[in-house]
Amino acid sequence: MRSFRLPLFASLTFGFCALLTMAADPAPVTPPLKVLMVCGGCCHDYEQQKIILSAGLSERINAEFTIVHEGGDHRDHKVSIYANPDWAKGYDCVLHNECFGAVNDAAFVEGIARPHFEGVPAVMLHCSTHSYRTAPTDEWRKAVGQTSMSHERNRDLHVKNIAPQHPVMIGFPEEWLDAKDELYKNEKLWENFVPLAKAYGEDTKKDHNVIWVNTYGKGKVFGTTLGHGNATMADPVYLDLVARGLLWACGKLGEAGKPLPGYGAVSGK
């Protein structure tokens, strides 16, 4: 058998070209997290909040948002997508920022909770905790992680970080002045509720948990009752917190409180 040997120059040229080809190949691009945001209902400026949240979070993490905003200022509106048993299919996370406290159809509400029980991560903001509270089922409350039926008057809240080593709370101040917000009263904490921050209740003369994480079935949930007004939601402290919470729920937050590779902010976005 005849041996075949490339001349030295040809070998070097071949190797150099191979290196150039490797260098020219683009680095793998991490697809953005597909986040469904559901908003609407009474008592809040959802027209602006959906913009504040989608824009602010997109500046912090690699995510794209599909927004469903329905219900006007009604408390009893049934969001149309929830009528489909597969309403959460295709999404990596659902961000709930809705206020429909008068919806009392137990089967409908259980249909909202079910995808989260089956593993779809969730972010629960502010009035989502009070949504569906008249329904004769605990499934939504279990998904949120707590039962709350009322809140105190709008006032300044002094939010204390009680879990500074938790990845979601790394970077959150030891104490944060949340101006002109509402303190939701914890009436029951469900078994997998993990408190992360609290604020003092003037009415009840005791602390209430205002930031937490929860596990509901197979689903991981981040929640906060903070965020009544646009100023709170637009605050960088709040947006940073929700960004970490969303990544945590999706399993994309590192132990140091930073996004896993590919899930941080995308330059030029």
**Position 214 confidence tier, pLDDT thresholds 50, 70, 90:** very high
Domain of residue 50, residue span: 33-249
Q: What is the CATH number of the domain that holds 191?
A: 3.40.50.880
Q: Which helix (H) or strand (E) holds 17?
A: helix 8-24
pTM of the model: 0.90
CA nearest to 88, candidates 62, 110, 66, 120: 120
Count CB atoms within 10 A of the CB of residue 45. 12
What confidence tens digit (pLDDT) does each residue in 225-251 have? 999 999 999 999 999 999 999 999 999
Cα angle for residues 216, 221, 227 (degrees, 5° grid): 135
Task: Identify the three-state secondary structure at position 191.
Answer: coil
Q: Is residue 25 part of a domain?
A: no
Q: Is residue 120 part of a domain?
A: yes
Q: Is residue 224 part of a domain?
A: yes
Q: What is the pLDDT of residue 266?
A: 83
Residue type, position 142, single letter: K
Q: Is residue 191 part of a domain?
A: yes
Q: Is residue 263 part of a domain?
A: no
- How many folded domains does the chain comprise? 1
Task: Identify the three-state secondary structure at position 37.
Answer: strand
Residue with tokens 């191979």: 18
Residue with tokens 């709370």: 169
Q: Is residue 183 part of a domain?
A: yes
Supply the mean pLDDT for the chain.
92
Residue with tokens 């299919």: 89
Q: Is residue 90 part of a domain?
A: yes
pLDDT at 66 over 90: yes
Q: Is residue 268 part of a domain?
A: no
